[in-house]
Homo-oligomer: A and B are copies of this chain.
Amino acid sequence: MKKFTKSAIVVALGFGLVTSASFAASHSSVENKTVAARHAQMQMIAYHTGVLGAVAKGEMEFSADMVSAAATNLRELAKLNGATLWVAGTEQGAVDGSRAKTEVWSDAAGFAAKFTELENAASAAIGAADAGAVGAAMAGIGGSCKSCHEGYRGPKN
């Protein structure tokens, strides 16, 4: 997962509105946008995991099309390039709302591997033949969420 410097993305997302007088406030606002964008990614991941979980638990009737749509979206969300989202300087404590541990950056390879784990787990649900197969895939999906959060997400703010 490639990384870009904090200054590059801060400049990028200031959209030319930053003056020297307003820099501090705008600077904070830019980092908030980055954190909000990755929260949006997590929200979409949770939403699609919820669809698969409902099928696995028998709360939603199994549909091969629906399962494949949700699992494919989940896989693609996990595959998004983290360079625009996990920008250095946006860890918990540095930006309001962030729960990213510093390990996201200090152990970038391990962090990237967690997204690959989710990607593979989601892929396993594509083409599932029945709710039981979705349930088997859900174990992997839930496990990857849990292990990533344990290692790379801090406590609630």
Integer count of this chain's copies in the complex? 2
A50 touches B83 (CB 8 A): no
B33 touches A37 (CB 8 A): no
Q: Interface residue tally of chain A, by bracket?
A: 35 or more
With an 8 A cutoff between CB atoms, is A135 at the interface? no
Residue numbers in B under 8 Å from A83 (CB-CB): 65-66, 69
Pick from B4, B48, B50, B69: contact of A66, CB under 8 Å: B4
Interface of A is mostly: helix
Name the interface residues of A76-135: CB closer than 8 Å to any CB of B: 76-77, 79-81, 83-84
Which chain A residues have a beta carbon within 8 Å of chain B's beta carbons?
2, 4, 8-9, 11-16, 33-34, 36-37, 40-41, 43-44, 47-48, 50-51, 53-55, 57, 59-61, 63, 65-66, 69-70, 72-73, 76-77, 79-81, 83-84
